[in-house]
Amino acid sequence: MSRTSNPGVRTDLLNSAARLIAEHGPDAVSTRRVAAEANTSSMAVYTQFGSIGGLISSVIEEGFSSLAEELQSVDSTDDPVRDLMALLLASISFARREPNLYEVLFVTASLGKYRRSEPAEMLAGRAGTFRRVEEACERACVTGRFDTASDISPLAYQWWSAVHGYAMLEVAGFIDPGPGTEKVLLPLLTTLARGLGDKPIRTEASLCAALG
């Protein structure tokens, strides 16, 4: 069956599927229910995605693409610590704007039989997301902002894990975004940078620049 392009219907179906997965799990994602949530016909699911499995795969792929676009909007500067913090703050903004999709992408929402297990599938989205964090960490080490002898990838994962852990708590409702940002998120970024040897005055300047 040939597929036709209708961006509005496609987006509605993706959003509906992400919401159903996040709230009720993959078993809730039936053709009829997704179509009803999106206020369209069941045939639209097959026309746009071929199957429910194709729809769920598209939720993941296009979700990572959206996150990559969010991070790509962060300009690179001559301050790698500012860039690192700005990238991670952008990922928080994405989580706040798309909480259901965020849960699906980072497997806090069960994907059941649709869960990715192959190495290539698990790394989907990495090129446009995690690698930018790695690059910022590497520049911070090269320029002497971070005095670490650690491999760059594990170092980047430390930042990625800490900030995404915060995001998951916020998305789940355990942290209120307002006081959470002031009392948890921003101090977390500061503590990580200083713990790696960055001078306090430079850390504060980088954080202020990242906040715009």
For 149-186, how does the pLDDT look when each residue is reduced to its tens digit (9 = 90+)? 668 999 999 999 999 999 999 998 999 999 999 999 99
| Confidence label for 1 from pLDDT (cuts 50, 70 and 90) | very low
Give 205's contacts (C-beta < 8 A, 6+ positions apart).
Answer: 79, 82
196's CB contacts (< 8 A; 6+ apart) are: 140, 145, 146, 147, 148, 155
From CA 205, how far away is CA 187, in angstroms rounded? 14
Given a contact cutoff of 8 angstroms between Cβ atoms, the answer to whether 57 and 65 are in contact is no
3-state helix, strand, coil in the chain (%, to 5): 70, 0, 30
| pLDDT tens readout for residues 22-66 | 777 777 788 999 999 899 999 999 999 998 888 888 888 888 888
Q: Which amino acid is at 204?
A: E
Rounded to an integer, what distance in angstroms lies between the CA atom of residue 198 and that of residue 81? Answer: 9
Of the candidate ranges 26-40, 93-107, 114-128, 188-202, the one whose mean pLDDT is the lowest:
114-128
pLDDT tens-digit profile of 182-199? 999 999 999 999 999 999
Instruction: Decide: pTM greater than 0.85.
Output: no
Set out the domains of the chain in order of their start, with CATH numbers: 63-211 (1.10.357.10)
